Structure formats: structure tokens, C-alpha cells
Amino acid sequence: MNKLNQIDKELNNNSVHQQVSEINKIIACIDQKQVIRHAPNRLGFYPDEMELLTEEIGKEHERLIKAINNLLNSFRQYLSLHYGIWSLPNLRTAQLIKEKYAANSALEVMSGNAYWSKALNDVGLQVIATDSLEWAKTSSTGKKKFLQVENLDAIKAIEKYQNVDLIICSWAPNFGHSDVKLIKAWQASASNSKLLFIGEKDGATNSGTFWSQAQFVHSKQLDEINKSFSNFDFIDEKIYEVKKI
């Protein structure tokens, strides 16, 4: 963050400054354990934008322009390393999830630091955040939780909390089969809850088996929710609803 703000000051360019200001606002919000109101604008510059930026600022600053673009494109990684956040929720999306699913309660499994739980809680849902917490034993971000997290793996959490309206899983690992096992446990349960996954299709999240086998619900309500959850980087992150078969 120090380097980002330092280069922003040196370049003194409005396009760069707008993006750096956006990041500073997000970090200030997270530091206060709050959730941003709306999805952030896209961060970083495409190659053609980099060319225009270099012409505008001057070729002598090309090294700094490349450096700040690398920093802007690394924002999600920064959030993961400093806060244990991989997915960046916003209150508008959380509110739409509540409204479109007419939900009053939610269970988050594999919740990590429970930032999505915090967002849903802030818009009025009764939220239970759960995680096996194995990762927290070795991660420096393990003590930076946004809500209380119950020590339960995903399968046990679904068995214990069957009366919630929504079950949410954000950024399931792209290795192993924990996501597929989660779906099977939910399918086998008597729960009438909706199951939502947040991640990138065939990309950074979830197993290959999950993306090839899971069947998803396509609806106008989900399209509207995803419109409010625009991507701020190269990760094509969306919210998916799994069909109950």
C-alpha cells in the first residue's frame, strides 16, 4: 500500500489516482471491519490503456506505470495475504441475495474469516458462519475474523443446520473434492435451503469435477444479483445456484 500510494503521488495522473483512491477506501472499510456498499470499479489497465497512459504521462515514467499496474492487478492477492479475504462482497449484492431469495437465514460453510457472512448479516440475515479452521492454525490471518466462526466442517454444518434458507460457499478449493461432497450431502439432506457457490467457473475456484458435474439454476433473479457483483480484476467471479435433484 505504501508503494502504491507513493507511485500514485509521483505520477500525479487522474486515471491512476481514481483507482488508488478506490483501493484506499476499500482498505479503510475493511480495517473498520465493514463491508463496501457497491462492487468496486475495475482495477488495472488493459494494454491499449497502458499505451494511452504512457503517452499522457510520458515515456520516461513507463517503469513506474508498469509497476503501479502490477500492484493494481495484485489487489486480490494483497487482500488474501493481509486479511484472509479472497472474495470481496458488497452490501448491494448481499441485499439482492436476501430479497431475490426471500431469505431470512443463511449458513456459510468453508467460511474462512466469514466476510460474506458479515455482508449478509449486515443486511439483516441471521447468519451462521462455519469452517473446519484447519487453515487458521498456520495462517497469520486466522485471527482476523469478521464474525464468530463455529468450528465445523461443511458436511457436519449442513447436517446440523438444515432449517436455513440459504447455504453459501465462497471460493471452495480448486483441488480435492470437498465441493462435490458438499453437494452430495446437501442433496441427501431434507433441507429446503438453496445452495449458492461463489467463484470462477473452470478457473481459480472449485474442482474440475464440480464444474463438469454440478447442475446449475439459471434465473433472472440470479442474473440481477450477478450484475451487482461485477469483477474488479481478471478473475471472472460469479454467484452460482446448484439445482437440487
pLDDT score of 137: 59
Q: What is the mean pLDDT of residues 170-190?
A: 94
Check whether 187 has a pLDDT greater than 90: yes
pLDDT score of 162: 92
Q: What is the mean pLDDT of residues 123-131?
A: 97
Check whether 139 has a pLDDT greater than 70: no
pLDDT score of 117: 98
Q: Report the DSSP beta bridge partners of residue 12.
A: none
159 CB-near residues (< 8 Å, 6+ apart): 185, 189
Q: What is the DSSP string of 137-166?
A: GT-TTTT--SS-EEE--HHHHHHH--S-SE
pLDDT score of 22: 97
Residues 71-123: tens digit of each pLDDT: 999 999 999 999 999 999 999 999 999 999 999 999 999 999 999 999 999 99
pLDDT score of 228: 98
> In which band, very low, low, confident or very high, does the pLDDT at 32 lie, cut at 50, 70 and 90?
very high
Q: Are 129 and 108 in contact (CB under 8 A)?
A: yes
- This prediction has a pTM of 0.94
> In which band, very low, low, confident or very high, does the pLDDT at 192 lie, cut at 50, 70 and 90?
very high
Burial letters 109-148, b for 16+ CB under 10 A, else e: bbbbbbbbbbbbbbbebebbbbbbbeebeeeebbebbbbe
Distance CA 104, CA 78 (A): 33
